[in-house]
Structure 1
Amino acid sequence: MDGRKSALKSPQKLSLLSSPVRAVIRLRRTAQILKKGLLPGDPQAKLLQRQISLGKAKVGSASTSLLSQASFESSQYFTFDTSVQPPSTKGSKKKKRSKNPRVLYPENSRKYLPTEHKSKAKRCLLLLVGIVCFQILNAIENLDDNVLKYDLDGLEKTMHREVFGQTLAVESIIGLLKDYLATHIHNKPLVISFNGPSGVGKSHVGWLLAKHFRSLMGHSSVLHYFALHHCPDDASAASCQLELSKTISDIVTQAEIEEKIPLFILDEVEFMSPALLETLSGFFQTNQTNEFLNAVYILISNLGGEEITKVILQNVSSNLLKPQRQLDQLRTVLRPVLSQRHPLWTLVEIVPFTLLEKSHILSCFYEEMMSEGIYPDPNRIERLASQLNYYTKEEQQFAVTGCKQVVAKVNLL
């Protein structure tokens, strides 16, 4: 009875033990096969399976006799795909990839370009550019309004009509005034020096400037100062300095209240004493209060007239071809001569007035006779003009005294 019971129990224990053992053995065997690169169906693999099962199976002889190759192949727990390709060996050749692979689209599909997404930042940038352009345009219009207030275009037409032979000088004066009067904020006053021989129109231009600006801004913003009249020889230099300084300060203060730029025309500067020139120089500096920086000073003198006459007579042919070059050359010659007279001329804009030709003298006679109500007979004008003295150079005649004697000649008629 005991033998039977043990015989009956042993198969049950074997069956309970064989399933897990078979699974473990199966896994280890498969791992060994895969490490060596053998397929499960090869003869070498089968031999290796038997060696593994005989060497490492530590179950009883009854269990090993029951385990067979057929039972392992027909396992209901694990299956292996024998069609798996073996892993590539190190010696296998790798496929060469093309350096520039081409992307091929299917033939039956439509090709679309990538969509471009609009950025909101671009709209903000366009808005900012528009604002800046509007501000610039507004600033330009404001500058034009300031210039229109002084009617410099009308002044230019008047000067071209009444001043003869000084086209470049008139253009230089108008250009300087337009640049300065375009705004009310400056870092220094505008100082212009009219220099040239006697009778070429310097004082006449000063008179036209005084008349024009008085009609626009009133008499309180314009000072027309004559050195010999306001400061005669018998007057003391100290009193002249005090009077001129007080007059300029009062006009500048009043003009600042009225938001205007005053004009000071100082004629006969060559007769001013060094002390009076020093007083003027103090108003031309940059280290002043704002109201003294917003002012225009016109200095009129015969200083440098001899140098201008010499340069023109020596370069008659070249000056006729290049008038702008002539103007630049005259400024270069006048600067050291005027600075030697007083350092204030280092702070000024020099506008040289050139010699007048005989044709300009004829125009002066014509205008003077018309203003006096005398019929401008051409023969009479020619006879009067021939009575004046001229420099003759290469068939050109330049008046020695300009139009200065024209008024006296006409008054004798």
Structure 2
Amino acid sequence: MELLGGLWLLLLSSASGFGFTWDLRSLRCSFSDVCECHFRPDLDGLGCDLAQNVFGQHLARQLLLKAVSDFVELEEPLKPLVLSFHGWTGTGKTYVSSLLLKHLYLDGGRSPYVHQFSPILHFPHAERIEQYKGDLKRWIQGNLSICARSIFLFDEMDKMHPGLIDVIVPFLGPSWVVYGTNYRKALFLFISNAGGEQINRVTLDFWHARKDREDIELQDLNLAISKAVFDNPHHGFWKSQIIDEQLIDLIVPFLPLQRNHIKQCVRSELKQQGLLPQATLLQSVIDSITYFPEEEQLFSATGCKTVASRINFFL
């Protein structure tokens, strides 16, 4: 220990002698593997990625970037950041969550401090819900004791057994210290298709009224999403204390994608594969996708989810 301390002082004095400005945090991290060293928020990179690679989601981009920026810049947050993503399949909810992980952690989604749960994979049997509650509570408490800067991502909340998620309520509020850990630095993210139909309806109403979809604001969607999600007896948030105690900080809506957004997705995918955006290929992929409603043929039924496989098919 004395040798390490001496080496530390030697490095600092050497840095001073050469006139360099050292990042003490980075230097400390070169000698340890504490979780704060894995937490490397790159907000500029996140904003750039959202702007360049997420199409048709002005609300999601704006809301997410502001919420995350405000949160990570606080040394002592008042409570954990709790976000809930809602929207139709293929609109980018999972993709945006992967970008968030990429720009918050050194190893992105592979970080040991990122924990992802799927109800089908982790909580498949309704008759074992009490066991799942105990397992989930121990898992979150144990990992928060290891690292306060942990992220817990719950996918497909519309398939979660009602009542199960309430076991995490004590971790979402303004708890200061439990087993020596400040839980206020954690981030919880819920992803759900529920509310997608209501978001689609509002977007369609704007289109019928000849209003720009980018004029849609959160207040236009909040009530509709809340009713569809929180009043649904089959949803994981049914009669949840998380809702009663208003522990969700922000609902992030994802709008349905139109043909021009699908075209952008195709171009992006071709670029990633190192291929040129040939006009015939672009049009073939766009035309092969099913659109709804039946009369307007306006929104992609699968968003951009099947774009990659369709490109490979036409190639």
Question: Cα distance 1:328–1:394, how it changes in 2: closer, same or farther (>3 A)?
Answer: farther
State which drifts further: 159-168 or 363-372.
Answer: 363-372
Q: Give the structure 2 partner of residue 279 of structure 1.
A: 167
Change (3 A) 1:306 1:372: same
Q: Which of 71, 74, 79 is equivalent to 1:180?
A: 71
Any gaps of 5 or more consecutive residues in structure 2? 1-35
Q: Partner residue of 1:245? A: 137
Match of 2:268 among 357, 367, 388: 367
Sort the Cα spacing of 1:234 and 1:368 in 2 relative to 1 into closer, same or farther, 3 A: farther
Displacement of 1:404 in angstroms is 1.7
Instruction: Specify the alignment match of 2:32 in structure 1.
Output: none
Amino acid at match of 1:175: K
What are structure 1's unaligned runs of at least 5 residues? 1-145
1:193 and 1:350 in contact (8 A); partners too: yes
1:381 equivalent in structure 2:
282
Counterpart residue type for residue 253 of structure 1: S
The 8 Å contact of residues 319 and 325 in structure 1, kept in 2 or not, is answered as no
Q: Report how far residue 270 of structure 1 moved.
A: 1.4
| Deviation of the 1:397 alpha carbon | 2.4
Q: Judging changes above 3 Å, is the alpha-carbon distance between structure 1 residues 169 and 318 closer, same or farther for their aligned structure 2 residues?
A: farther
- 2:106 maps to which residue? 215
Separation of aligned partners in 2, 1:320 and 1:314: 9
Of 280-289 and 205-214, more deviation after overlay is shown by 280-289
Contact 1:168–1:324 (Cα < 8 Å) also in 2: no
Amino acid at match of 1:360: H
Sequence identity (%): 29
What's the CA shift for 1:358?
0.4
Match of 1:168 in 2: 59
CA contact (8 A) 1:196 1:303 kept: yes
Within the candidate set 35, 43, 50, 1:159 is matched to: 50
1:204 aligns with 2:95: yes
Matched with 1:401 is 302
Higher relative contact order (CA 8 A, sep 6+): 2
Q: Which aligned pairs between 1:8-407 and structure 2 lie closer than 5 A?
A: 150-215=41-106, 219-233=111-125, 236-256=128-148, 261-287=149-175, 289=177, 291-316=182-207, 320-321=211-212, 323-341=214-232, 342=237, 343=240, 344-345=242-243, 346-348=246-248, 349-391=250-292, 397-407=298-308
Using the TM superposition, give the Cα deviation of residue 164 of structure 1 relative to its aligned residue in structure 2, in angstroms: 1.1
Q: Deviations over 1:103-129 (max 9, x none)?
A: xxxxxxxxxxxxxxxxxxxxxxxxxxx
Contact 2:292/2:300, CA 8 A, preserved across alignment:
yes
CA contact (8 A) 2:203 2:213 kept: no
Change in Cα spacing, 1:251 to 1:268, as seen in structure 2 (3 Å) is: same
When Rg is computed on C-alpha atoms for both structures, the one with the higher figure is 1
Which structure has the highest helix share of the two?
Answer: 1
Partner of 1:37: none
CA distance in structure 2 between the partners assigned to 1:356 and 1:401 by the alignment: 9
Cα distance in 1 for partners of 2:80, 2:167 equals 15
Cα–Cα, structure 1 residues 301 and 339, in superposed 2: closer, same or farther, change >3 Å?
same
Contact kept, 8 Å, 2:40 with 2:106, in 1: the verdict is no
**Are residues 213 and 230 of structure 1, via their aligned partners in 2, closer, same or farther at CA, if it must alter by over 3 Å?**
farther
Counterpart Cα distance in 2 of 1:307 and 1:391: 14
